[in-house]
Structure 1
Amino acid sequence: MSLPGFAAMPKDNPMVFGNARLSVITPTLLRLEFAKDGKFVDEPTLFAYDRTSMLPMDSIKITDLGDNRYEIVTSALTINYHDDGFPFSTSNLMVYYDLNGKRKKFTNRFLPKNNLGGTVETLDRVTREIPMDDGLLSRDGWYMIDDERTDLLTPDGWIRPRDTNTHIQDQYCFIYGNDYRSALASLGAISGRVPMTRKYIHGVWYCRYWDYTSDEFLDIIRGYDENDFPLDNIVFDMGWHTNDATLGTGHNGHLNWNGYTWNRELIPDPKALIDSVHARGVTVSLNDHPHDGIRPHEHNYAEFAAAMGAKDGEVPLFDLSDRRYMDNFFKYAHRPSEDMGVDFWWLDWQQNYLYPHVRGHHSTSLSWINELYYRDSQQGNRRGAGYSRWAGWGDHRHPIQFSGDAQANWEMLAFEVKLTACSGQGGCYYWAHDIGGFRGEPNPELSVRWTQFGALSAALRVHSTKDKRLDRRPWISGEKETKAMRRMYHMRSEMMPYIT
């Protein structure tokens, strides 16, 4: 017999017990919610992106044990729950599962001990192995993600803060024992599947922080052909745009990293250059540091300012929380170059130290800007193309990821191998690295070994800092090294039909 104020045995999934709601999303994934007013959250978040998956009730057995106690059984779990009117805790919830042939008990007390590791946001300024973030997989057979403080996605696709005064618990409990496949499948069920990528994204890239002219870009492509190396994408780093900014926050003491006006001294006719690159079967991507937005020195600033309704002398600040700003940003910052034929953007966001969160929200700036850039890359009914640092749970929907500016040394190469192997456990399934390392002493053998690893990564992408000694074109290190790298480049191209 139910006590006054307590719920009767639920007939549907999700299961509501007064102010508590238990959702069985897959046989090994539970969602635990508690709301003081009984108003639960059905809107998606950047993590809980897919609300369509829910285990049908005929796959669940629920038994009323009396005294407001229930046993809920899936094909993998036995859940004992006491509807005591309080949030889910070690006092009212116990979940039993099998691990290595033994029955184990899970409670929502988060004490991880044997996690197998996940990924990290970036390797910027990293010189050796560092601790990795948690992944989903653990030798304990479970992992829990707290989604309570994350922003909600509105029906029109924007973010808004949730009411944390009344909705006080939102936990996702992955309880899988030894069945790691089911854990990763459950991640896809709640957080969305990895979208199909563009084929060329996974090919061979040439990238270097260097101010190349149009003729030099074409000479690089010609060099790949003449030396029998495949090439799929060439990146124009920051030299593609002008560097005459006088306003903004800048980065590393420079105001010129952010820009959208083509540098006509280096590239007099951008469209002609892009057309020439395309004619050679190579795609074009542009480096983008968007943190200062569109400033008065840009060629179309007056149009942008008018669209924003800016007053005389007012410079609108880059604002990820403002839909109007972001719509106009893509229109005036990106569309002119895309209309010339630019294929996709390298989102080089490094400003967490200035803007860790979207203004007025809990979402990190990186997670939201990755979402916005990826959506925008789908305009024209195209597959999305992301290239940015890892933003945490849910960012697997924006492939591919860039691991940042790692130091060129043997320790970092070894760590990148480990990081790549473990990152799928955090949902980061596509890593591309700075093959050869971003900065450091030239080392031809290290470049060869890094290339051998890179040939088995999400993209074979060389990159290096603005140092005349560091050029990662694979035919300039020596005959022995060139021969070894040519073999790996060709192997990569031969693997493309299986990768994409």
Structure 2
Amino acid sequence: MVRPVIFSGALLLLLSIPTSLGFKSQDFKTCAQAGFCRRGRALASRAQDNASWKSPYSVDSSSISVSSGEASFTAGVKSSLYPDVKFGLDVRIHDDGVVRVRMDEVDGLRKRYDEAASWALIAEPKLSREISWTVGKKDVRAVYGTKKENEVVVSLEPLRVSLLRNGKEQVVLNGRSLLHMEHYRTKESSRPEGTPEEGLDEDDAQVVVQVKPNAWFEGEVEDGYWEETFGGNTDTKPKGPESLSLDITFPNHGHVYGIPQHATHLDLPTTTGEDPTYSDPYRLWNSDVFEYLASSPVSLYGSIPVMHAHSAESTVAIFNAVASDTWIDVDHPTLKSTNTHWISESGILDVFIMPGPTPDDIFKQYAKLTGTSALPAHWALGHHQCRWNYISTDDVRSVQQRFDEHDMPVDVFWLDIEYAEEHKYFIWDKKMFPDPVDMMHDVEALGRKMVVIIDPHLKRTDNYPVYKEASDLGVLVKSKSGDAEYEGWCWSGSSAWIDFFNPGAWDWWRGLFKNTSQGDKWSWVDSTESTYIWNDMNEPSVFNGPEISMPRDNVHYGGWEHRDVHNINGMLLPNLTSQALVARSDPPKRPFVLTRSFYAGSQRFGAMWTGDNLGTWDHMAVGISMVLANGIAGMTFAGSDVGGFFGNPEPEMLVRWYQVGAFNPFFRAHAHIDTKRREPYLLDEPYRGMLRDILRLRYTMLPIWYTAFHDANIYGIPVLRPHYVVFPKDEAGFSLDDQYFIGDSGLLVKPVVHKDVTETDVYLAEDQVYYNYFSHYAYRGSSKGKHVTVPAALHEIPLLIRGGSIVTTRERPRRSSPLMQRDPFTLRVALDKVGYAKGQLYLDDGETFSHLEGNIVWRQFVAEKTAKKSKTIRITSSDLVSQNPDAAVEGVSLTKYDPLNAFAKSVESVRVEKMVVMGLGGKPKSVRVDGGEELVSEFTPGVAAEGKKEGAASVLIVKDPGVSIAKDWSIVIEV
């Protein structure tokens, strides 16, 4: 959010008030302004210029120790530059083939931060007991895989780790000899002031300089080792230099994706080499970036150090478990290879190499490490309406009334910071919100929910019980002295920050959300169980801090400096908040928490959004790429602010924004306090009707979205699937990020993100028929790939159904999704070119955790010919869990699963009210439930029978077949 004038008593503090729109680059460092990044890039430059460059790190062969019965070994590592400095190497292979490589300083002057992985991982990974290491004179290696296709080789001198498949290198660590773990050292005599690097301003960077004995490797001077100044803030570095540089090479993969969050293409552009797209590396440093650019490597609100590398042959990935400020250079020395260079301020080397070899394999391997995305409450997939701010209880009631008057569905109303008295979170401003609980009950009466913002900074005043309790408990972040509470400035004025690394904060925070009295402890009694939470500003954002954040030398629990834990910091708040929401209910209900800041593993706790975007076409477009990038890195419950947070989009742009939002996993309209009100009912016709249609379309498709989220929860596969995920061998689509598939539904969407568009180009990768979702027009792809032109006037959404798919919808217009629980279903059967289709539907109560006890409906629908040369189609429904033990719900034993479970019985009367079958070979002679009477149906012939031609497809509409959504059945269409 933009930083306004802040009042604290009689004090008026002016903080970062924008004088004009646009990203303020001076607020954030470039690589050249960060000492450790300068040092890391300089190392790479010297290596590139020196043909005889050799890494100083080597494995001490006499120290190699191989664990008996487990695929792991340890060894000592020595540096030829610093013989007295010791390092330890630990390499292990997990039972799913993932390789973990750890290296840390041994017996150093201080301990390096080594806890990043422990916050991200769901458990300590199990090691393989079927793999053994072979120790040779030059290397240590292990071969594994069902066909012994994978091999890990650890070269001893110099240290080099590579993963091979079928003899070809897939991932190489230190292949370019850029590994450098700056060891801890004592501060020698040095000049108090140094000469700034070229391009730095004297006021913005002071560099402490000392001539170095190992200039060929570490550089000629001590550059920013012990102190740095930026933007008037001095960062003391009591531990001295501790950065980690590591080159990670993908010798046979020409495309890399991931490392969110950045506003850029999914297929990451280059930052070095010939004619790079960006001059600076990608940065991972959770930041509150005001009006970020629509194309930039600048770090944004979250950091997930996960990178996929892809080629037509395979997909591999790495997870670099580091929590400090990290810069990543990307280069393609050839069209088929990728070099990356990771430069982190602190931490140990802890890299997980995921062997794939398919994108789906990567998702499962990463999910096994950090967990899958939480299965959200069903209502959370509906339409969310927000702005900064709905100013009163009457305002909220009025907005709800207007939505209902205009027959527009909505599930959630949001309140930003102005609900809170003096920005003291949990405390209502009773002048404007005199009856908050009654207001919430009014919203809940129609099945809706409310979301209220809770930020991690606390107003420093003793009349604020939340701050007083946190201070008394000693669970606030400390200043660099380690004993005094850190004071910074945020929305509340003078503020303190909860240190969620401190276990003493955990139970206390969970207790705050109880909506019943907790004795002498404060709790949020002015709330209900249908009040959910938005965690913002948790990077953390500090208005008067360096780079609008917390000083790096602040101290957290355990004595760790903020520099060590910064990128993890943002994930702890939604973690504890989600736990609090679960704990407040009996029986527990699924939480909903939206977070702005995140790290690897944050997918377990809720949703995220792409932050303070602008209402422009460019931001609309890049938001799609950002959501895709977050999804492949695990954070799949993602979306961008519909309409843009800043600005006043014209009606055409707003319609297109809603089309984009309706096909994001998280669908929220949000706007800045200075924007004009733009609730969808405020537009004039025909735009208002268009928005109503878009909202209703989202609600009809909720079964598709919920099923896709279930798949994400079970398998770790993203809800939105980029082209390379669905067609991993189609090179023509590896850089596509403006069209994507929704789960495995077969729905292909290409939102329009440009002005004055009436038609658009959609790429089809295969020799298959695709049907227009609305008109049933059939397009034919090609085995060589084909571009087709799809109508895209303002009222039209380019949405295609892939032949071979069955999608399930609910078509009754409702005011909110809970009111749809007993609505009937429509099945759309899109036959492929051989007359086959399949799909799935997942249902549960959408609110509790009873699905973990097997109270679910998970059906598979299949349409296929009754015989090879027959045109008769049989459509069947069967229980998916019973026939596929590997697909069983996580935590549910198949032996305890009952297809007639309590939930299934509760919905057995819910029926299929309509079927739409596209691509039949001719007019049916009869349509009947197997063993039953003839069903009422209508047939419209088309030229695209069985997907053989392009044009209008044949369409059969079966009216009210009456079959239960929760039972087995079969419908025969005799042609």
TM-score scaled to structure 2, two decimals?
0.43
Aligned residues: CA RMSD: 3.6
1:216 equivalent in alignment to 2:395 = yes
Q: Verify the 8 A CA contact 1:294 1:329 in the aligned structure 2.
A: no
Residues 316, 264 of structure 1: CA spacing in aligned structure 2 closer, same or farther, 3 A cutoff? closer
Measure how far apart 1:111 and its partner are: 3.8
- 1:261 corresponding residue in structure 2: 427
More RCO (CA 8 Å, sep 6+): 1
- 1:157 corresponding residue in structure 2: none
Aligned with residue 345 of structure 1, among 533, 545, 556: 533
- 1:386 corresponding residue in structure 2: 593
Counterparts of residues 112-131 of structure 1 (less than 5 Å): 112=249, 114-120=255-261, 124-131=290-297
Q: Verify the 8 A CA contact 1:260 1:298 in the aligned structure 2.
A: no
- 1:426 corresponding residue in structure 2: 633
Residues 338, 419 of structure 1: CA spacing in aligned structure 2 closer, same or farther, 3 A cutoff? farther
Q: Verify the 8 A CA contact 2:389 2:673 in the aligned structure 1.
A: yes
SS at match of 2:595: coil
- Per-residue deviation, residues 348-406 of structure 1 (Å, max 9, x unmatched): 11534332667243222213323332332332433232201142322222221121111
Measure how far apart 1:331 and its partner are: 3.7
- Per-residue deviation, residues 333-356 of structure 1 (Å, max 9, x unmatched): 775436620521111115343326
Measure how far apart 1:147 and its partner are: 2.5
- 1:146 corresponding residue in structure 2: 320
Q: Verify the 8 A CA contact 1:175 1:183 in the aligned structure 2.
A: yes
1:485 equivalent in alignment to 2:712 = no
The structure richer in strand per residue is: 2
Q: Verify the 8 A CA contact 2:170 2:316 in the aligned structure 1.
A: no
Measure how far apart 1:442 and its partner are: 3.4
CA distance in 2, matches of 1:374, 1:21: 35
Name the aligned partner's letter for residue 433 of structure 1.
S
1:205 equivalent in alignment to 2:384 = yes
- Which ranges of structure 1 fall in alignment gaps of 5 or more residues? 151-166, 244-255
Q: Verify the 8 A CA contact 2:680 2:691 in the aligned structure 1.
A: yes
Measure how far apart 1:234 and its partner are: 0.6
Residues 181, 259 of structure 1: CA spacing in aligned structure 2 closer, same or farther, 3 A cutoff? same
Moved more, 422-431 or 232-241: 422-431
Residues 334, 129 of structure 1: CA spacing in aligned structure 2 closer, same or farther, 3 A cutoff? farther
Name the aligned partner's letter for residue 106 of structure 1.
V
SS at match of 2:570: helix
Measure how far apart 1:149 and its partner are: 6.3
Name the aligned partner's letter for residue 486 of structure 1.
R
Residues 69, 404 of structure 1: CA spacing in aligned structure 2 closer, same or farther, 3 A cutoff? closer
Q: Verify the 8 A CA contact 1:42 1:51 in the aligned structure 2.
A: no
1:103 equivalent in alignment to 2:168 = yes
Residues 433, 390 of structure 1: CA spacing in aligned structure 2 closer, same or farther, 3 A cutoff? same
Q: Verify the 8 A CA contact 2:644 2:671 in the aligned structure 1.
A: yes
Residues 70, 339 of structure 1: CA spacing in aligned structure 2 closer, same or farther, 3 A cutoff? same
The structure richer in helix per residue is: 1
Name the aligned partner's letter for residue 90 of structure 2.
R
Name the aligned partner's letter for residue 139 of structure 1.
H
Measure how far apart 1:201 and its partner are: 1.7
1:193 equivalent in alignment to 2:372 = yes
1:89 equivalent in alignment to 2:159 = yes
Name the aligned partner's letter for residue 175 of structure 1.
P
Q: Verify the 8 A CA contact 2:456 2:498 in the aligned structure 1.
A: no
CA distance in 2, matches of 1:355, 1:303: 22
TM-score scaled to structure 1, two decimals?
0.79
CA distance in 2, matches of 1:376, 1:408: 34
Counterparts of residues 295-310 of structure 1 (less than 5 Å): 295-298=461-464
SS at match of 2:426: coil
Q: Verify the 8 A CA contact 1:28 1:182 in the aligned structure 2.
A: no
CA distance in 2, matches of 1:304, 1:229: 43
- 1:31 corresponding residue in structure 2: 100
CA distance in 2, matches of 1:495, 1:356: 46
Q: Verify the 8 A CA contact 2:291 2:612 in the aligned structure 1.
A: yes
CA distance in 2, matches of 1:391, 1:382: 23
1:137 equivalent in alignment to 2:311 = no
Moved more, 383-392 or 105-114: 105-114
Q: Verify the 8 A CA contact 2:607 2:637 in the aligned structure 1.
A: yes
SS at match of 1:196: coil
Measure how far apart 1:483 and its partner are: 1.3
Structure of larger gyration radius? 2
Counterparts of residues 458-497 of structure 1 (less than 5 Å): 458-467=665-674, 469-497=675-703
Counterparts of residues 389-408 of structure 1 (less than 5 Å): 389-408=596-615
1:355 equivalent in alignment to 2:550 = yes
Counterparts of residues 286-325 of structure 1 (less than 5 Å): 286-292=452-458, 295-298=461-464, 317-320=496-499, 321-325=501-505
Aligned residues: percent identity?
16
- 1:253 corresponding residue in structure 2: none
Q: Verify the 8 A CA contact 1:261 1:299 in the aligned structure 2.
A: no
Aligned with residue 579 of structure 2, among 371, 375, 382: 375
Residues 278, 270 of structure 1: CA spacing in aligned structure 2 closer, same or farther, 3 A cutoff? same
Moved more, 490-499 or 107-116: 107-116
Measure how far apart 1:69 and its partner are: 4.1
CA distance in 2, matches of 1:369, 1:302: 19
Counterparts of residues 211-290 of structure 1 (less than 5 Å): 211-243=390-422, 256=423, 258-290=424-456
